[in-house]
């Protein structure tokens, strides 16, 4: 598992210091996924989708929220088990938890990089999911560019439940990949339904 304390500490070091800039990916200005990419890969040397640890410079945007959504380098975390340093992921936004109820992200052009509540602090109508970055998790599917849509072809590793119910969700995740090729609304509908199912399976 990743060092959650180091992730939290590094993410919080940018609070109220870096402005929001859509497509940005470094401390001169970044958006939500650019912030996460920089903290995890540039600062802490973790692999992220399409980049081996330490190779992300922030010169280009790198993986988008879409790319993170299906990456195999994370383990699902139940809502009741969220800790500081976990990744908080909505369909169109992401950040890093600083505790069970708050997270830090590049929020918007008005607030910049701030700490916000997880409940009510994400995009309206979207459902949050929670993930732990696995130490040394490698990606074999290169990504790049703001708004990129490539995702892995299976539920991220570290399944919290075994058996047919969870295994069959791999098919649903492939539906998410298909939705990416159509429109944003289809992606949101598919992602939200899949995360709801993940939460139900994880509790069974």
- The domain defined by 4-157 folds into endopeptidase fold (from Nostoc punctiforme) (3.90.1720)
CA distances 200 to 89, 94, 160, 192, 196, Å, are: 17, 22, 11, 13, 6
Give CA–CA dist 195/198, Å, rounded.
Answer: 5
Domain boundaries, the chain: 4-157
Contact 47, 53 (CB under 8 A): yes
Per-residue tokens: 46: 């973790």
pLDDT tens-digit profile, the chain (204 residues): 689 999 999 999 999 999 999 999 999 999 999 999 999 999 999 999 999 999 999 999 999 998 898 888 999 999 999 999 999 999 899 999 999 999 999 999 999 999 999 988 888 888 899 999 887 554 433 333 333 322 222 233 333 333 344 444 444 545 555 555 555 556 555 666 666 555 554 443
Contact 176, 129 (CB under 8 A): no
pTM for this entry:
0.71
CB atoms within 10 A of CB 110: 8
């Amino acid at each position: 598992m990743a060092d959650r304390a180091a992730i939290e500490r590094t993410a919080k070091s940018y609070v109220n210091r870096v402005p929001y800039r859509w497509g940005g990916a470094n401390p001169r200005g970044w958006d939500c996924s650019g912030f996460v990419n920089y903290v995890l890969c540039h600062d802490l040397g973790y692999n992220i989708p399409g980049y081996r640890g330490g190779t992300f410079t922030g010169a280009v945007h790198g993986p988008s929220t879409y790319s993170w959504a299906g990456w195999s380098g994370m383990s699902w975390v139940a809502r009741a088990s969220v800790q500081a340093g976990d990744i908080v992921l909505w369909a169109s936004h992401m950040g890093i938890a600083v505790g069970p109820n708050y997270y830090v992200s590049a929020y918007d052009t008005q607030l910049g990089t701030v700490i916000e509540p997880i409940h009510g602090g994400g995009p309206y109508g979207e459902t949050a999911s929670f993930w732990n970055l696995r130490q040394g998790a490698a990606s074999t599917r290169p990504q790049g560019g703001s708004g990129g849509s490539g995702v892995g072809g299976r539920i991220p590793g570290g399944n919290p439940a075994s058996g047919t119910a969870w295994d069959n969700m791999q098919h649903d995740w492939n539906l998410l990949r298909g939705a990416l090729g159509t429109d944003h609304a289809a992606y949101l509908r598919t992602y939200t339904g899949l995360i709801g199912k993940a939460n139900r399976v994880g509790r069974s």
